[in-house]
Structure 1
Amino acid sequence: MMNENTKIKSITIGTGVTYVSKKKYIYVTPFLNEVTRVINDTKAIFSEPSVKFKGSKLAHLKLLIENGESIVMTHVLFSMLDEETLDDIRIEGYTLIMDEVANVLEQLKTTSKDINYLLRLNSISIEAKGQVRWIDDDYNKNLNNSFDYLRDLADTDNLYIYNDQAMFWTMNVKAFTSFQEVYILTYLFDGQIQKYYYDLHEVQYDKFSVKYENNKYHLINYDSKADKREEVGKLLNIYEDYRQDTGRKSILNSNYDDFRFNVNTDFYLSSTWFSKNKEDSIKQLNKNLYSYFRTQVPTKNENIFWTTKKQYASKFKNAKTKFNKKDDRTKDNFISLNIRATNDYANCTAAAYVYNRFMNPLEKGFFEIRGIVVNEDLLAVSDLVQFLFRGCVRNGEVMNCYIPSSRMRNLLYDWMEYKI
């Protein structure tokens, strides 16, 4: 679309054709290497904000917008857009193309004690939908600048409260409504936090599927059957303790916890489960990971990728599942739980997802108390599918998967059968 919406600016002997965009685009991606790829693959000139301009990418971004240039940048930089810059975007008439959903909600490090203190001093007021306003004109004198960041967020309409328990930063909704058109490139949008954020702000949107026809991609009316999930299901070799095709039995999905106490296994491997410090179970899971990649599906380390909640990842480090504590991902095969939009693991033929994904209870309550229906199962399977599609299955190749959480496996099977 960006390449089609160009026109010839000039033709120069020796250097060829120079194109310019008919529209003004801002393309947002999670990764810096994707910024480079988009710049290289577009006909027209797209600019990347540089720190070389006054030592600030944000200052350069503002200048590029004022000049009406087409821009490629990261999600992190996009989240820094202020009110003035968003007004410039609206005036210039930009189209936004966002590769994957943005981080639009973040819980702040405030306590209920902080909140009660501010309310008691009449420093803040709570308005419609829980939006926080700063009303204390004598703030600097009364509070010693301790809550500068909260005041600043309130002044930019980015501060919300939940049940007097927690405060949240939310992205200014003008980050989307200031554009003439917005395209969000993602999958299973109905299960994602940005969808609930749009509902909160009454932002209207339409969903589409993508169809490849006549050597070109087209947007068509949304149809889940266009996903061809049954074809994906045939490529995923999901480990089960009992395999009907071979008759062999193992217990890697069920030997890490004690089933004698009639516990609901739907919550095994959730954040709450991990927080209970089940050292013996975690040690057994570590052994399972090694066994799976060493004997069940013998795989070279460079063809493995795996994940769990990051704070527990070091406990699963072994000869097959590598984890670098200094976050140097070039020295391990660990990837983050919410990874998206990267092709770096397309050569990997085996994967392990050692987690049971639920929505943060405070985030869930933040939306539900405002009458917004949250689908935790769809959120979970969305993250799982995104994770799996980092591997070779994206190239139409068979991939081995170890998913010890029974809930996550069942959700994946439901997804394959269009039940979710």
Structure 2
Amino acid sequence: MEKVKVIDSIMGSGKTTAAIDMMNNSGTDENFIFITPYLDEVDRIKKSISSKQIYEPKVKKKGDKTQYKFESFHELLSQNKNIVATHNLFKNANDETKELILSGNYTLILDEVMEVVEQLRVKKHDLTTLFESKLIYVEDGFVKWNEEKKDYETRYDDIRDMALNNNLMYFKDNILIWNFPADIFKLFKEVYILTYMFDAQIQRYYYDINNIKYQRYVSEFIDGQYRFTKHNTEFESILKAQLRNKIKIYEGNLNTVGQLDYSLSSNWYKNKSPYTIKKVKNNVFNYFNNIVKSSSDEAMWTTYSEHKNKVKGNGYTKGFVSCNARATNDFKHKKHLVYTINRYVNTVLYNYFKEKYQITIDQDAFALSELVQWIWRSAIRDGEEITLYIPSLRMRELLIEWLNG
């Protein structure tokens, strides 16, 4: 039986509740690490675990020294404590983390997939400096840090740490790609990944290239509680049927701005004139203020973060929710939604998987999974009706197709 279990279940099927129940019902000798996307979710998880003490890594003073969160994480691991922490903290994992996880006989619960492969934003002249100073070199595709200079204090300490952890790949002679250390997933007693549409996620492709085997499960309500099971479930088709009647998708003239395949993509926003982007802003304003007459509190919208200031407007600015928001209940009062983007996988990452590993990422599946997760942050999660303006024809058709099964 594979130790990695992917709980691939639609939102609202009780994945997190099942994981909490599993922890509460476990033996006193079973140790858990629960990793969640957001800091406010850390508190919620801590309060939900009643059968065992669960600790959060914290910044604290030790004498005249400051112990930072990652050091605190290692201290808790060394004491075999049950831990809840964020994705961002866990992404710092290094060789010491691996040793402590292995010796602690831990089970990992990963709430939502992580960003396990990322393009590092390094300026070309900084990369040139690193090579010319002989701080880094490339070996078998990996960026290595010169061991003789590993104690040097430089402004490239983050790159140094990643290179020393063997986490950096060199791609196309000028791009650094960071990879989360894949062998960590093999060091746990068991791993549970709580997600939906796993096949569309970058983490699934990363598992493929690192030969990490996994089994699929779903979450079901059985005998009065949510549990992980391998049985087929009709819950998803039943939920979709309910959603079709509760999501009112706008069809009208405001959609003309998104008719082409790449309209409203990241590159589209970068290349279009301010006048064209102003049209998107005017459409959003019109939708919220005239078509659905939304209050500012019930308005929820998104665009690419670097273009947020060009699209925000009166009556809805504070309703911005990042397009990659997951696993949070903070926006469940939002009833009027606007999704002004056309999602594609980062071009560099797409080419990285294709050219280095001959793996083609399914762009439509990725886009749909991101859209569905974003919509689920709203009042629809509590079964309430919502309105939705998606000017991108591609994104709108992907959603309608999904809702129709």
Q: TM-score under structure 2 normalisation?
A: 0.85
Structure 1 residue 24: Cα displacement:
0.1
User: Which residue, out of 362, 367, 371, partners 1:384?
Assistant: 371
**Does structure 2 conserve the Cα–Cα contact (< 8 Å) formed by 1:94 and 1:180?**
yes
> Which has the larger displacement, 302-311 or 170-179?
170-179
The 3-state SS of whatever aligns with 1:356 is coil
Say whether the 8 Å CA contact 1:299–1:350 is kept in structure 2: yes
Are 1:57 and 2:69 an aligned pair?
A: yes
Once the two structures are TM-superposed, the CA of residue 268 in structure 1 deviates from its matched residue by: 0.2
Does structure 2 conserve the Cα–Cα contact (< 8 Å) formed by 1:304 and 1:349? yes
Check the 8 A contact 2:299/2:337 in 1, yes or no: yes
Residues 1:153 and 2:165 are matched in the alignment? no
Contact kept, 8 Å, 1:352 with 1:403, in 2: the verdict is yes
Q: CA deviation at 1:34?
A: 1.3
Q: Structure 1 residues 22 and 125 mapped into 2: Cα distance closer, same or farther (>3 Å)?
A: same
User: Could you tell which deviates more after superposition, 336-345 or 29-38?
Assistant: 29-38
Alignment correspondent of 2:138: 125
Q: Distance in 2 between matches of 1:185 and 1:63?
A: 26
Alpha-carbon deviations, 1:287-338, whole Å to 9, x = none? 211211122212111011100011111112222221xxxxxxxxx1101110
Is 1:95 aligned to 2:107, yes or no? yes
Determine if contact 1:95/1:179 at 8 Å carries over to the other structure: yes
Provide the residue aligned with 1:78 in structure 2.
90
For 1:329, the equivalent position in structure 2 comes to none
Cross-structure match for 1:351: 337
Q: What is the Cα-based RMSD across aligned positions, in Å? A: 2.7
Within 5 Å, give how 1:276-295 maps onto structure 2.
276-295=271-290
Q: Distance in 2 between matches of 1:291 and 1:367?
A: 41
The 8 Å contact of residues 220 and 233 in structure 2, kept in 1 or not, is answered as no
Structure 1 residues 312 and 119, CA gap change in structure 2 (3 angstroms): closer
- Tell me whether 1:417 sits opposite 2:383 in the alignment: no
Equivalent residue for 1:400? 387
Whole-Å separation in 2 of the counterparts to 1:71 and 1:377: 36
Partner of 1:106: 118
Question: Which amino acid counterpart does residue 124 of structure 1 have in structure 2?
Answer: Y
Q: 1:115 to 1:99 in 2, by over 3 A?
A: same
Cα distance in 2, alignment partners of residues 137 and 187 from structure 1? 42
The correspondence of residues 225-236 of structure 1 with structure 2, limited to 5 A, is: 226-228=235-237, 229-236=240-247
Cα deviation digits, residues 78-123 of structure 1 (max 9, x gap):
1122211221111110000011111212212336677678778985
- Name the residue aligned to 2:183: 174
1:232 alignment partner AA = L
- For 1:226-375, list aligned pairs within 5 A: 226-228=235-237, 229-241=240-252, 251-254=253-256, 256=257, 265-322=260-317, 332-369=318-355, 370-375=357-362
Q: Write the letter of the residue equivalent to 2:35.
A: V
Unpaired stretches in structure 2, ≥5 consecutive residues? 1-18
Question: Taking structure 1 as reference, are residues 137 and 340 closer, same or farther at Cα in structure 2, changes over 3 Å only?
Answer: closer
Give distance in 2, aligned partners of 1:230 and 1:165.
48
In 2, Cα distance between equivalents of 1:22 and 1:144:
42
Task: State whether residues 37 and 111 of structure 2, in contact with CA within 8 Å, keep that contact through their aligned partners in structure 1.
Answer: yes
SS at match of 2:319: coil
C-alpha separation between the residues in 2 aligned to 1:35 and 1:351? Answer: 27
CA distance in 1, matches of 2:191, 2:197: 17
The match for 2:223 is 214
CA contact (8 A) 1:5 1:22 kept: no
SS at match of 2:176: strand
Larger radius of gyration: 1
One-letter code aligned to 1:265: L
The amino acid across from 1:365 in the alignment is N
SS where residue 230 of structure 1 aligns? helix
Bigger Cα displacement from structure 2, 299-308 vs 158-167: 158-167
Aligned length: 378
The answer as to whether partners of 1:139 and 1:145 remain within 8 angstroms in 2 is no
Shift of 1:384: 0.4
Report the Cα offset of residue 6 of structure 1. Answer: 5.4
Q: How far is the alpha carbon of 1:172 from its aligned partner?
A: 1.2
Which residue is equivalent to 1:67? Answer: 79
SS at match of 1:164: coil
> Offset at 1:46?
0.7
By percentage of residues, which structure has more helix? 2
In 1, the alpha carbon distance for the partners of 2:364 and 2:234 equals 19
Amino acid at match of 1:97: I
Q: 1:223 to 1:165 in 2, by over 3 A?
A: farther
Q: Percent identity?
A: 32
Give the whole-Å Cα distance in 2 for the aligned partners of 1:216 and 1:340. Answer: 23
Alignment of 1:197-212 (within 5 A): 197-212=206-221
State how far apart, in whole Å, the 2-side matches of 1:312 and 1:342 are.
23
Q: Which runs of 5+ in 1 are unaligned?
A: 8-18, 242-250, 258-263, 323-331
Matches within 5 A, 1:180-195: 180-195=189-204
